[in-house]
Amino acid sequence: MDWTRGHSIGHGSTATVSLATSIQSGDIFAVKSVELCQSEFLQREQQILSSLTSPFIVSYRGCDITRENSKVMYNLFLEYMPNGTLSNAIHAHGGRLDESLIRNYTSQVLQGLDYIHLNGLVHCDIKSSNILVGPSGAKIADFGCAKRVDQVGQIAGTPMFMAPEVARGEEQGFASDIWALGCAIIEMASGSTPWHNVNDPVSIIYRVGYSGHLPDFPCCLSEQARDLLDKCLRRDPRERWTASQLLKHPFLVGESNSHVAKQIQESNSSSNSPTSILDQCFWNSLDLSESLHNLVSVPPGREGSAGERIRGLSLLSGMPKWDWDESWTTIRGDSREERDAIMDCIGVKDDIVSCGLGEQKSYGGSEELLNFLDSNISSRIIDDFWASCKHRKVCFGNPCLSRLPLQA
């Protein structure tokens, strides 16, 4: 497909999401791009997305390789979701969503998870910033961590949303996605992360995996909503309800698809909170021709159709922020080449990661672990490293985290 890259609408630590236009049809879509030499995770996402077709999963539109500014880029084409992420929607609604919207988004994400699980896949990184919102509602995105349920070895995800068994390095199955959804429901209801009072990833992993505690349930939720949350956040994965069971929960039953779509459309159109400078007042201040030439290159003869599309999308909700953290901070890695590439991306020295697959090295606690790191790198880099991990994905290739009796 011949296409033209427009302006950036989001970024991670190595990849960028841009608006793009098809030269043949004038259709607008999103393109997620990274240098080819660092594209292993994006290629994994392409392989998974190309095998899935669901109205509750962001659509795959293709991929290609281009040379731009002396760099070879790998590009993944995706459906454009004009309202950004669910995290953006939470902020746009004043920090928390009404229970009716929570019900609608939860139902849609569960339908996406049910489809994914029926296809033998685990998403491994469900959270509000990996759920995109469009005119018809929520769709699951970012399959960079996803894997087959029977795939052993590497465990991945964001510590703040990890299930207890994942934090202990034991297993990562369908039930871990359900736990993460419960954490996302807490985000929707409260505007806060599920472990908002924990500041570093070592403490988060200990708290989730070993403390026996559960996240606080928002007091604003109804009894039915809290009951559904209870079914998601069982510490024993065998006790958690499946996606198909949760779809039959009284909290979700009774909402027709047409009613859900209407309510979400009203919510999206009524929110006037700007998400960036590229919002209504900005678009209104420019001539259409000026905005088109500055932001998106459109092939001759198609200015009207593509321009009206872009302008209409921006007037609907402002420009979305597709910010995500697609690079993984490797705590335990199976592949040295993979580990080296990722550590270079985030600016962390190679000797941070000392345990390879199969090693039985352990540390007495978070302080001892940090002292070990301090013998190799400066304390400033340690602080930056842990701060970068807090809301990032991490992966480890063997369960030796279960041997860390960390201190909170």
Residue 284, pLDDT above cutoff 80: no
The residues annotated with a catalytic role in the active site are 125
CB within 8 Å of 2: residues ≥ 6 apart: 22, 23, 24
CB within 8 Å of 187: residues ≥ 6 apart: 86, 87, 90, 127, 128, 193, 194
Crossing angle between the packed helical segments 303-317 and 288-295, to the nearest 10 degrees: 90
- The answer to whether position 268 is within a domain reads no
Residue 324 tokens, joined = 């995500």
Residues 246 and 170 in one domain: yes
Using DSSP's 3-state secondary structure scheme, residue 327 falls into coil
Residues 359 and 312 in one domain: no
DSSP-derived letter for residue 58 is P
Structural domain ending residue among the three candidates 235, 260, 285: 260
Q: Counting beta carbons within 10 angstroms of the beta carbon of residue 282, is it exposed (0 to 12), middle (13 to 18) or buried (19 or more)?
A: middle
- The answer to whether position 116 is within a domain reads yes
Residues 164 and 217 in one domain: yes
Residue with tokens 């569960």: 110
Q: Which of 198-207, 263-272, 326-335 has the highest mean pLDDT?
A: 198-207
CB within 8 Å of 152: residues ≥ 6 apart: none
Q: Determine the Cα–Cα distance for residues 208 and 405; give it in Å rounded to an integer.
A: 13
Residues 102 and 234 in one domain: yes
User: How far, in Å, are 3, 12, 42, 252, 291 from residue 7 at the CA level?
Assistant: 13, 15, 20, 38, 11
Which of 16-30, 61-75, 172-186, 369-383 bottoms out in mean pLDDT, i.e. has the lowest?
369-383
Residues 107 and 205 in one domain: yes
- The answer to whether position 272 is within a domain reads no
Q: Shortest CA distance to 166 belongs to which of 125, 213, 120? A: 125
- The answer to whether position 182 is within a domain reads yes
Instruction: Look up the CATH number of the domain holding residue 198.
Output: 1.10.510.10
Instruction: Look up the CATH number of the domain holding residue 58.
Output: 3.30.200.20
Residues 23 and 141 in one domain: no
- pLDDT tens-place string over residues 52-73: 999 999 999 999 999 999 999 9
State residue 15's pLDDT score.
84
- Structural domains of the chain, count: 3
Residues 256 and 281 in one domain: no
State residue 348's pLDDT score.
36
Residues 151 and 105 in one domain: yes
Residues 132 and 55 in one domain: no
Residue 351, pLDDT above cutoff 90: no
Domain span at 284: 3-80+277-317
Residue 271, pLDDT above cutoff 70: no
Which contiguous run of DSSP H or E holds residue 39?
Answer: none
Q: Determine the Cα–Cα distance for residues 43 and 143; give it in Å rounded to an integer.
A: 10
How confident is residue 156, by pLDDT bands cut at 50, 70 and 90?
confident
User: In whole numbers, what is the pLDDT of the chain averaged over residues?
Assistant: 74
Using DSSP's 3-state secondary structure scheme, residue 317 falls into helix
Crossing angle between the packed helical segments 99-118 and 257-270, to the nearest 10 degrees: 120
Residues 72 and 96 in one domain: no
Residues 147 and 233 in one domain: yes
Residues 215 and 96 in one domain: yes
- The answer to whether position 270 is within a domain reads no
> 32 a known binding residue?
yes
Q: Determine the Cα–Cα distance for residues 95 and 116; give it in Å rounded to an integer.
A: 29
- Please tell me the pTM assigned to this model: 0.68
- pLDDT tens-place string over residues 352-379: 222 333 333 333 444 444 443 344 433 4
User: How much of the chain is in helix, strand and coil states, percent to nearest 5?
Assistant: 45, 15, 40
Question: Do 77 and 30 touch, CB atoms closer than 8 A?
Answer: yes
How confident is residue 391, by pLDDT bands cut at 50, 70 and 90?
low
- pLDDT tens-place string over residues 212-232: 999 999 999 999 999 999 999
Which of 83-97, 230-244, 287-301 bottoms out in mean pLDDT, i.e. has the lowest?
287-301
Q: Counting beta carbons within 10 angstroms of the beta carbon of residue 59, is it exposed (0 to 12), middle (13 to 18) or buried (19 or more)?
A: middle
Q: Determine the Cα–Cα distance for residues 140 and 90; give it in Å rounded to an integer.
A: 16
Pairing mode, if any, of strands 3-11 and 131-134?
A: unpaired
State residue 174's pLDDT score.
98
- The answer to whether position 265 is within a domain reads no
